[in-house]
A and B are shown apart, each in its own frame.
Chain A
Amino acid sequence: MTLFRYCGFDIESLIEFPELKTLETRQNEDPIAVERAPVRIDIGSGQRQGPNWVVGQKEAFWWLEGIARFRVDSKGIQVDGEPNAPEGLIRALTLEAPMTLAMQFRDAFCLAVSSTTDGRDVSAYRFLPGGGSSTAAAWQVTRKPGQLLFSDTLLHVRVDDKGQPIASPQGSGVMLWPRAIELLELDSCSRMSVRPELPLQRLELPACRDPLPLGKIITAAMYRRLQESTVDDHHTIDARRPFRLAALRTAGRLWVDAMGKTEKHFQWCLSIARHCAVERGTRSILYP
């Protein structure tokens, strides 16, 4: 059994995660357990169903045909990988949807964003999926003095006693494609392949290890000529409405209702809306 740190949670796992930092001792009492076990998808009443998931108030299933099935509850994650599926892919998937579900069962929500920090607070980059937010975060870290990586895909944000949103570092590096690695001249950086069929690499960049307040969310459509407006998902979003931004960009937001977490999620979005600025990304901000 190995202890890892991910998104501010301890993971106690029988599966090795070379992409995560190991812990000598537990940092909190109730780690998320990850184990290999046969998983049979069980669709019960009261559960909500999607194309590759079933979510209820006590347990959830998430799967990718031919690759892996996962059962998730508040205690942890059971992983049932297909024999021929790439191990790196199964691990990467475990750290995405199943981990998001496990956190949600514990009333913990994540923004699906990349982020960096200057050591004081966290700036999150919210682009369309595939829009280059990982590259923007890596750019900040490699080209702007004093910037550290904070998250690549999931940014766990909790609300402290004063109602302030506090982000926890993801701790799994940044995934980049060859073009971005070349552009950022990161060829000599420590890295690992995510899966052998793809040139996608997970790179280890200088990263923050401590929780920090979430300061701002930067949205962008900056490579168009539009500097004054921004496109978010498939609707134009008013940047004065960060609540909507937090709600729309919650990782696994389709599962929130099914888990009975609507009110808690609402309060979470409200806290982000009250305390975080939303900025429109421009070239000068994103690519200094």
Chain B
Amino acid sequence: MQTCWLASYPKSGNTWFRIFLSNLLFPERAPVDPNQLLMSNLIASARGPFQEILGFNSSLLTSDESACLRPAVDSSIARAWTGALCLRKAHDAYTMLPDGQPLMGKGPDFKALYILRDPWDVAVSAANHWNLGFEDTVDRLCQDELKPHRNRDVNEQFPQHLLSWADHVLSWLHSPMDVCLIHYEDMHRQPLATFRRAVRFLGLDRDDDAINDAIQASEFKRLQQLEAKEGFIETPRDGTRFFRKGAMGDGLSKLTSDQLDRLRVQRKIVDRAIEKKEIGQAGIENR
């Protein structure tokens, strides 16, 4: 089965989209409990399936060695997938392995739905999520290099290769697979048109009423209330919220002008590439 990556830089609406999709696919259970999503939560960087499919403790490997084995694991997952839609969350950038093969595969076995959010809003949300100050978070969004593995511990996911915010976006738009680009801001401003395009790209046959119902069931306010009341499995630690604001333009008032300038440079790189149609043909087709 073809795998569709639901790709985005962290804190760009990936989880929100999967909640929407759960509500769309299982309307009889809507509004779904985000802690028990009815669709797979299987992120590309998860250790669980890696260990199960290859049969050993992944912490025995260096991060490069484990990265080289991930494509084989992804292919195995796709082959064994029994659901109607093999949609998997991914925060890794589209990067190449030392042997020249892509970490995240290529078409036609893979395609990607990419969610792009304004980097200043990503920064504010990510700062909360990563427990960093704004300056450090902006540094991270502007950093070109692969983030080095800390090598002091392991966690449930392999180290994600994020690149800078702009390189993350462009790496996916240039990738050799069909890419549908949607903007987080459009998910707020023009929800029906935006979600409809994503739903069509995923090959799902759902009418506008069904899409609208799923959008209503996935309202941000409801998710915030639920998290406050019952908690959410992806909340990074006590005292923080995963569904923080979901707002547009929050970063414009929170960040310094210097921080905003740096992120505007990132944004300009992406906008210019999209305007000049330098991105992959599939990305342009699906805009």
Contacts and interface: CB of A to CB of B under 8 A. Distances in A.
Contacts of A198: 60, 62, 151
A254 B54 CA distance: 9
A197 B62 contact: yes
B235 interface: yes
A93 B156 CA distance: 20
Interface residues of B, number: 41
Contact of B55 (A130, A177, A231, A252): A252
B49 to A, nearest CB: 8
A253 B230 contact: no
B286 interface: no
A234 B151 CA distance: 25
B153 A178 contact: yes
Given A180-B153, A224-B232, A52 B55 contact: yes
A129 B72 contact: no
A92 B231 CA distance: 38
Contacts of A236: 35-36
A62 B155 CA distance: 25
Given A92-B60, A130-B59, A236-B35, A178 B152 contact: yes
**Most chain B C-beta atoms within 10 Å of own C-beta, residue among A100, A128, A194:** A128
Nearest to B49: A234
B60 A195 contact: yes
B153 A128 contact: no
Contact of B48 (A51, A128, A221): A128
Contacts of A112: 51
A251 B57 CA distance: 10
B76 A51 contact: yes
A170 B47 CA distance: 22
Contacts of B50: 129
Contacts of B152: 177-179, 199
Given A234-B41, A234-B46, A52 B72 contact: yes
B53 to A, nearest CB: 6
A51 B231 contact: no
Interface in B46-92: 46-60, 62, 69, 72-73, 75-76
Given A129-B47, A200-B60, A225-B235, A53 B55 contact: yes
Contacts of B232: 224-226
Determine the main DSSP class of A at the interface with B: loop
A89 interface: yes
A258 to B, nearest CB: 12
A6 B222 CA distance: 52
Nearest to B157: A130
B40 A234 contact: yes
A153 interface: yes
**Most chain A C-beta atoms within 10 Å of own C-beta, residue among B49, B152, B230, B234:** B152
A52 B54 CA distance: 6
A233 B54 contact: no
B42 interface: yes
A225 B238 contact: yes
A97 interface: yes
Contacts of A153: 57
B148 to A, nearest CB: 14
A131 interface: yes
Contact of B231 (A195, A226, A251): A226
B55 A128 contact: no
When A and B form their complex, which 7 residue pairs have the shortest distance between CB atoms, in order from nearest?
A225-B231, A51-B72, A179-B153, A97-B55, A129-B47, A177-B153, A96-B56
Given A194-B60, A236-B35, 18 more contacts: A50-B53, A51-B53, A52-B55, A52-B69, A92-B57, A92-B60, A96-B60, A112-B51, A129-B51, A129-B58, A130-B59, A131-B155, A175-B59, A195-B60, A199-B151, A226-B230, A229-B35, A234-B48
Interface of B: 35-36, 40-42, 46-60, 62, 69, 72-73, 75-76, 151-157, 230-235, 237-238
16 contacts: A50-B53, A50-B55, A51-B76, A52-B69, A97-B54, A128-B156, A130-B154, A132-B155, A178-B153, A180-B153, A194-B60, A234-B40, A234-B48, A236-B35, A251-B55, A254-B55
Interface of A: 50-53, 62, 89, 92-93, 96-97, 100, 112, 128-132, 153, 175, 177-180, 194-195, 197-200, 221, 223-227, 229, 231, 233-234, 236, 251-255
